[in-house]
Amino acid sequence: MNYFSIKELSQSDTAERLGIDNTIPANLEPNAKRLIAELDKIRGAYKRPITINCGYRCKKLNIAVDGSSTSDHLLARAADLKNTPELQELILKMASLGKIDFDQIIIEKPDKN
């Protein structure tokens, strides 16, 4: 875990505001560590900071943000990143070359900056 931490993956402004404990349970830490390892690969290649907008969500937080009941966020297997066109291009290239291991990559509208 060179760039990201388990704590960072569970940080949530919404959870803090609502007083929800969003700590990743011990049984999900292996999932979080695998996700962080893949995110670290992206960050290392990107050579610039990457912001995690949303990582792990406990059930209570997932309900509060109207998340899907089948979301991989509940299993510490998903992270939403602040997207830029350059980051998007890098992730798609790394995925196509097999340099990162993800079940799915959902590309939403990238930020302009």
The 10s digit of each residue's pLDDT in 53-85 is 889 999 999 999 999 999 999 999 999 888 888
Closest CA to 65 of 108, 13, 106: 13
pLDDT > 70 in the chain, percent: 94
HEC-encoded secondary structure of 34-96: HHHHHHHHHHHHHCCCCCEEECCCCHHHHHHCCCCCCCHHHHCCCCEECCCHHHHHHHHHHHH
Tell me the one-letter amino acid at 68. Answer: S
Give 46: exposed, middle or buried? Use CB within 10 Å, 0-12, 13-18, 19+: middle
With cut-offs at 50, 70 and 90, classify the pLDDT of residue 87: very high
pLDDT > 90 in the chain, percent: 77
pTM of the model: 0.88
